[in-house]
Amino acid sequence: MTQLIECIPNFSEARRPEIIDQIVAAIQSVSEVKLLDRSSDLDHNRTVLTFAGTPAGVEEAAFRAIQTAAELIDLDTHTGAHPRIGATDVVPFVPLGGASMEECIAIAQRLGQRVGSELNIPVYLYEAAATRPERANLENIRKGQYEGLKLALSGAEGVEEAERRKPDFGPAKLPKAGATVIGARNPLIAFNVYLTTEDVDIAKKIAKAVRQSSGGLRYVKGLGLLVDGRAQVSMNLTNFRETPIARVVEFIRREALRYGVGIHHSELVGLIPQEALVDAAVWYTQLDQFDKEQILESRLFSSDKGRRITDNGQSPSVRGLPAPQPASFIEQLAAPTPTPGGGSAAAYAGAMGAGLVAMVAGLTIGKKKYAEVEAEMQAIRVVAEKLRMELTHAVDDDAASFEVLMATFKLPKDTEEQKSKRSAAIAQSTLNAAHIPLHVSADVVKVMELALKCAQHGNLNAISDAMSGFAMSRAALTAAGYNVKININSLEDKSAGDKMLAELAELEKEADELEKEIRAVMKERGGI
């Protein structure tokens, strides 16, 4: 399947359409992408563009758009109702057909590094691409907007604050184009509800009631604004499956009645998944027995193309036999083959540890008893899921690196030149094979840190799961560490691996300290 990725950059400009035309032209100059939507709001002074295409095409188009916006938009003179910190304020990547969240994270990281180095624009990574739990939420990065961030980075609010607000890429100083936030996330619905009043205070009260950060609905972010002379509740719905759009509308309708007003109309900014509208229609029409296959268009466009066919043209279950299933990882591990081996097992154990941490955070979110730590748990869950994906990837990466290493031993060695090339290839492949378990080691120590936080502040009923996640990660570190050491030990010039061994030693030392802390927490908070 062709990989397809969506990008929805937000630009701090709407009142000068000629500027947006040039940004659009920059995007459309990349042949592998298609512009899907253009939405501008004069009061917000903000434009949202939506385009999609191949991973490489979308990444290049996003860079050209950021570059063009930086040349044409001056944040020192910009005004608008919507919070912003940059000319290109936020650039999220969303996986569509055939693409994964990991690929979107990789795009965000590469683009962030390029924007920081080539355009000298500070870049912050957010959502699934966040490098710190507190940066998973866009609001935390955008605190104080452009003016506040500029002040903080200048050191006017203290060295500690300047260090805390330091970007992931680029200079720790704001140019006139401001900073850019780049990340990877699931589909988001930008949805605004207009009220039958011009009293913006009512919109602000309703926004406070509906948004998750103030104790409202999960996966809802909201602001109260005055737009076109009418009070507006401006929202981002970050998970329409968990919090359907109909539930949001009815919540706002009830809140509005408290103040003697109603809903005038609503609007979408950009695009919306069809599934979200279908869910809203089903909710309002009370089609309790509805099946999505009852949608005419779904039936018309469905086909047998997705069915797997054998060489003789028959489905594998035609003769009453079950379709063959791929071997599980445990079965592959037990097979008498060199790969997957201990390095892959270490990554797998680490992924399980990250999964348990994400579970504990999820079991804490939404519980009134743990309302004070909800934001922290949301961030932990995002970072844990990112680490889980990275570690899952490392399972195959470790096996692949070992197979490459084995291949280098089969290189010809008949001449001195061949022997030299073979020796260099073996050394390089050995270092590469050591690098992957070292990266796994760094990741699992991060999982341990998150597990400790879950044990300290998470749902008490799941504290043993937090400890289990820690234990799996600790085991992963031990296994990965031995794989680093055995590879380095096999080098003729062992000094080439000194830096890696020193890094591993630091990670093991950090893990020891974390284990002391979590054992104390288990005794104090868990009674065990």
Q: Do 470 and 379 have their domain in common?
A: yes
User: What residues are labeled active site?
Assistant: 82, 398
CA 233 to each of CA 191, 200, 205: distance values in angstroms, whole numbers, following the listed order: 9, 9, 9
Is residue 317 a part of any domain in this protein? no
Between helix 55-72 and helix 17-28 the angle, nearest 10°, is 150
Q: Do 419 and 470 have their domain in common?
A: yes
386: which 2 tokens? 């990112």
Q: Do 36 and 171 have their domain in common?
A: yes
Position 310 pLDDT exceeds 70: no
Position 239 pLDDT exceeds 70: yes
Is residue 313 a part of any domain in this protein? no
Q: Do 176 and 193 have their domain in common?
A: no
CATH number at residue 90: 3.30.990.10
Phi, psi (deg, nearest 5) at residue 4: -135, 130
Q: What pLDDT does 412 receive?
A: 83
Final residue before a domain boundary, out of 184, 208, 231? 184
Q: What pLDDT does 60 receive?
A: 95
Final residue before a domain boundary, out of 184, 216, 237? 184
Direct distance between the N- and C-terminal alpha carbons of the chain, in angstroms, rounded to an integer: 50
Q: Do 239 and 133 have their domain in common?
A: no
Average pLDDT value for residue range 465-469: 96
Count of domains observed in the chain: 3
Position 322 pLDDT exceeds 50: no
Q: What pLDDT does 1 receive?
A: 44
pTM here?
Answer: 0.51
Number of other residues whose CB lies within 10 A of the CB of residue 93: 29
- Most confident range, picked from 223-232, 274-283, 465-474: 465-474
Q: Do 451 and 478 have their domain in common?
A: yes
Final residue before a domain boundary, out of 135, 156, 184? 184
Q: Do 256 and 389 have their domain in common?
A: no
Q: What pLDDT does 459 receive?
A: 95
Upper half-sphere CA count for residue 243 (Cβ side, 13 Å): 23
User: 520 CB contacts (<8 Å, ≥6 apart)?
Assistant: none
From 187, 1, 192, 29, select the one nearest 95 (Cα to Cα).
187
Q: Do 162 and 59 have their domain in common?
A: yes
Band of residue 302 on the pLDDT scale cut at 50, 70, 90? low
196 DSSP 8-state letter: S
CATH number at residue 204: 3.30.70.670
- Which strand (E) or helix (H) includes residue 145? helix 145-153
Phi, psi (deg, nearest 5) at residue 490: -85, -5
Band of residue 300 on the pLDDT scale cut at 50, 70, 90? low
Q: How many residues can be counted in the chain? A: 528
Between helix 463-489 and helix 416-457 the angle, nearest 10°, is 160
- Cα separation, 266 vs 251, whole angstroms: 14
Containing structural domain, residue 359:
330-524
Q: Do 114 and 81 have their domain in common?
A: yes
Poorest-pLDDT segment among 89-103, 247-261, 326-340: 326-340
Report the chain's C-alpha Rg in angstroms. 26
Q: What pLDDT does 401 receive?
A: 82
Residue 268 pairs in a beta bridge with 191
- Cα separation, 521 vs 519, whole angstroms: 5
The pLDDT tens digits of the residues spanning 494-524 come to 898 899 999 999 999 999 999 999 999 999 9
Number of other residues whose CB lies within 10 A of the CB of residue 510: 16
